[in-house]
Amino acid sequence: MIKYIIRRLIQAVPTFFGITVISYLLVFLSPGSVIDRLLFGPNTRPEQRELLAAQLGISDPFPVQYLRWLLGDDWMRWDSDGDGISDQAVIIPLDVDGDGEPEPPGRGRGILRGDFGQSFLKRQPASTIITERMPATLELGVTALVLSLCVGLPVGVISAVQRGKLVDNLSRVMAVMFNAVPAFWLGLILILIFGSTLGWLPMGSRCKPSLTGVCPPLPERLEFLIMPAFVLATTNIAIFSRFMRTSMLEVMGQDFVRTAQSTGLAPRAVYVRHAMRNALIPIATLIGPIITGLWAGAVVIEQIFSWPGVGQAAVKAIIDKDYPVIMAAVIFTSVGTIIGFLISDILYAVIDPRIRLQ
């Protein structure tokens, strides 16, 4: 198992770099510029815009920008006059707003050395912006995943056991509804009903505002998590329940289940101990894509519920064309996707010992 995990991680390296190349290219080709946000005065001269663009490095060709983001800009510098100081490709910081403090260059030593660069607008490391918001996104995503499993899997088993009855028909209708209703619309409706009209739940944020800016432990603010976690989990509940129902129906028709029933075992023991475990094998296939979908869905949910997570920071960075923050969010999502698919493969061996990952 350890060798298999190491081999899969090595195979994920080219996938990771492919994601970064495509993502950086899309950012590079997108219209607009961060210069419009930094220099918004009517008296801004074109020379100032060009100088700031050169300082930030966004006027360079795509290969140069990508390699600098990946490896840093040390490889672009050399000692041209023999004084022992690398003076080529050194950009002099520019005081754009006249406050006496030069604007941040937004460059770093490259992500391969753990430096994601500096935010163009917030004047702080992009990695800090992401890591500060990562606990909120993980909290929301893990809660939604656990809720999806705890609701979707039992509903699928019950639907298969009660095939054609009221419970089965009702679960199928609810699954179609959860799949059809857009998450942003459902979130707004829940805010309107339970937040604005009834006042039962908070309409947004992760916790109540405080002077310290630190949220209390999760048990003290569960009411803030209920609506966003439910909205994020609805689609996955429908997917898990439908797949589990189909898989259970297939397993229940096999010989070993009928043999267990003929021995006089209680129906619960037959369905849970024998049928359900074998029916979980196809469910393991869904874990990887669903973890990826949770990161993507969290972007919408965090915007609707003002949840201070990575998705909210990524949306703002995309609007502002803040390259370092955008790419830091891409790295976070890419790593989550790779880990999700690795978990799917590992679950095969955990659920069914007959599967060998050699």
For residue 75, the model assigns a pLDDT of 59
For residue 80, the model assigns a pLDDT of 42
For residue 353, the model assigns a pLDDT of 63
Residue numbers in the chain where pLDDT is lower than 50: 78-82, 85-98, 102-106, 357
Where in the chain are the domains?
A: 2-74+92-113, 126-351
For the entire predicted model, the pTM comes to 0.79
For residue 93, the model assigns a pLDDT of 45
Rounding to the nearest 10 degrees, give the CA dihedral for residues 262, 265, 268, 271: -40
C-alpha–C-alpha distance, residues 116 and 95, integer Å: 23
For residue 253, the model assigns a pLDDT of 79
Q: Which residue has the tokens 């976690």?
A: 229
Write out the two tokens for 98: 């006249």
For residue 92, the model assigns a pLDDT of 40
- In the chain the beta strands, taken as DSSP E runs, fall at none
CB-CB contact of 235 with 297 (8 Å): yes
- Is the domain spanning 126-351 CATH 3.30.70.3340? The answer is no
